[in-house]
Amino acid sequence: MILLEYEAKNIIASHNIAIPSGQIMAKDTVIVHAPFLPLVIKAQVPIGGRGKLGGIRVIDTGRDYEESVKKLWHTKLRNHLPSMLLLEEKLDIDREFYLSLLIDAASADILIVAHPSGGIEVEENDQDDFLKLPYVPGEENRIGESLAELFDLPDQVFVLQDMVRNLGQCFVKNDATLLEVNPLILTKSGDLVVADCKMTLDDAAAFRHPEWDFETPIESNNFVELDATGTIATVANGAGLAMATVDAVTSAGYRPINFLDVGGGASEDLILESFTNLQSYPNIKAIVINIFAGITRCDDVAKAIVAAKNRFPTLPPLYIRLTGTNFDEAATILNEAHIELQRDLDSCLKRLVKEVARG
Ligand code: GDP
Ligand code: MN
């Protein structure tokens, strides 16, 4: 699960990492006058490289502010419209660094990766020039010294040691798989501040994080259009299950319209929104729903299905497999609405083949 920048920053700030001061602007609300100046407006979309795509605007005077806000609400960044805008104090940049923690798949260790020139051109750096160190709890002081040397910041050794300690704890405690700070900024007044942060959490750990409650924008990586002229839409949770569902539909002789992973913890609203998108495909004949509920709750899915049925009288037939958390409640809700459930994906497809022409 990829967090939006402001969500990631809220988490690291709670681990005593310095972030710029700022505020969030929710969709459809407009803060008419710049609440402070100068500021940076940042489109909250779950992708990197927003600077180059026009999703980051530095505002020095009040006159540019309103137009920029309006523009950003309507700027699609690689197919993502922002669900929020983040307004932040503009930092006076002296230098930009790159610093990240990630799970090294080969060793299963947490790895620290750093480079003295961060920012939007970080990919231009030679891969071999990145400093890579295993993150070992207890060794933060040594790691902080290495970073101070790499960044040529001898005065900031203590700050970097604390930062490694705090980022490391934050990473482990939140079951992150990636925590990328780019850029880490040295301001002209000598402060180290996290100007941008990307964080990915391990979906498999969701069960031990009841506090996880994030925006998962539907038009994200989780939705992939496969064939706009296809006939069968799919809704699943978890990338693996979503792929398996698409494959099964293909094997049964149909052209799937899409891949959709509604994610762990998908809410009723989010699921309803996905129906809104799907039912607009012109050749849609059926929707196959395959949910293995963990943190997502079957009853939320069931309520969304019933709501979708009510809202869209032309909704095509649904072939639904649900299992997991709150299944019994879900079965009752669907039963009362006369919506049939299938035992497993196989049963869904058998029914589909029986009732819907291939092609
Ligand atoms: P990304 O392109 O999605 O990674 O977005 P970032 O938040 O990293 O912003 C991209 C670039 O915008 C940064 O590398 C900075 O050069 C610039 N930028 C971001 N915040 C500030 C700021 O507060 N002040 C200034 N001067 N530049 C900023
Ligand atoms: Mn960045």
What confidence tens digit (pLDDT) does each residue in 74-131 have?
Answer: 898 877 889 899 999 999 999 999 999 999 877 889 999 999 999 999 988 888 899 9
What tens digit of pLDDT does each residue of 9-50 get? 999 999 999 999 999 998 877 788 999 999 999 999 988 899
Whether residue 58 is predicted with pLDDT greater than 50 in this model: the reply is yes
What tens digit of pLDDT does each residue of 301-320 get? 899 899 888 888 788 999 99
Report the C-alpha gap between 229 and 234 in whole angstroms: 14
Per-residue pLDDT band at 265 (split at 50, 70, 90): low
Tell whether ligand 1 has an atom less than 6 A from the beta carbon of residue 25: no
Tell whether ligand 1 has an atom less than 6 A from the beta carbon of residue 62: no
Q: Specify the higher pLDDT residue, 266 or 165.
A: 165
Report the C-alpha gap between 142 and 123 in whole angstroms: 27
Whether residue 276 is predicted with pLDDT greater than 90 in this model: the reply is no
Instruction: Report the nearest atom of ligand 1 relative to the CA of 120.
Output: 14
Helices 5-13, 157-173: crossing angle, 10 deg rounding? 110
Ligand 2 center–CA 195 separation, angstroms: 7
Ligand 1 center–CA 8 separation, angstroms: 16
Tokens read off for 196:
């941008």
Query: Rounded to two decimals, what is the model's pTM?
Result: 0.68
Q: Are strands 176-187 and 110-115 parallel, antiparallel or unpaired?
A: unpaired
pLDDT, position 220: 47
pLDDT, position 172: 97
| C-alpha distance from residue 349 to each of 69, 339, 355 (Å) | 47, 16, 10
Report the C-alpha gap between 40 and 250 in whole angstroms: 46
Ligand 2 center–CA 182 separation, angstroms: 4
Tokens read off for 169:
């704890």
Looking at residue 315, what DSSP letter applies?
A: P
Distance, CA of 240 to chain centre = 17
| Amino acid making up residue 67 | E
pLDDT, position 185: 98
pLDDT, position 218: 42
Per-residue pLDDT band at 277 (split at 50, 70, 90): confident
Considering the chain, what is the average pLDDT of its residues? 91
Whether residue 359 is predicted with pLDDT greater than 70 in this model: the reply is yes
Whether residue 341 is predicted with pLDDT greater than 70 in this model: the reply is yes
What tens digit of pLDDT does each residue of 225-245 get? 888 889 999 999 888 999 999
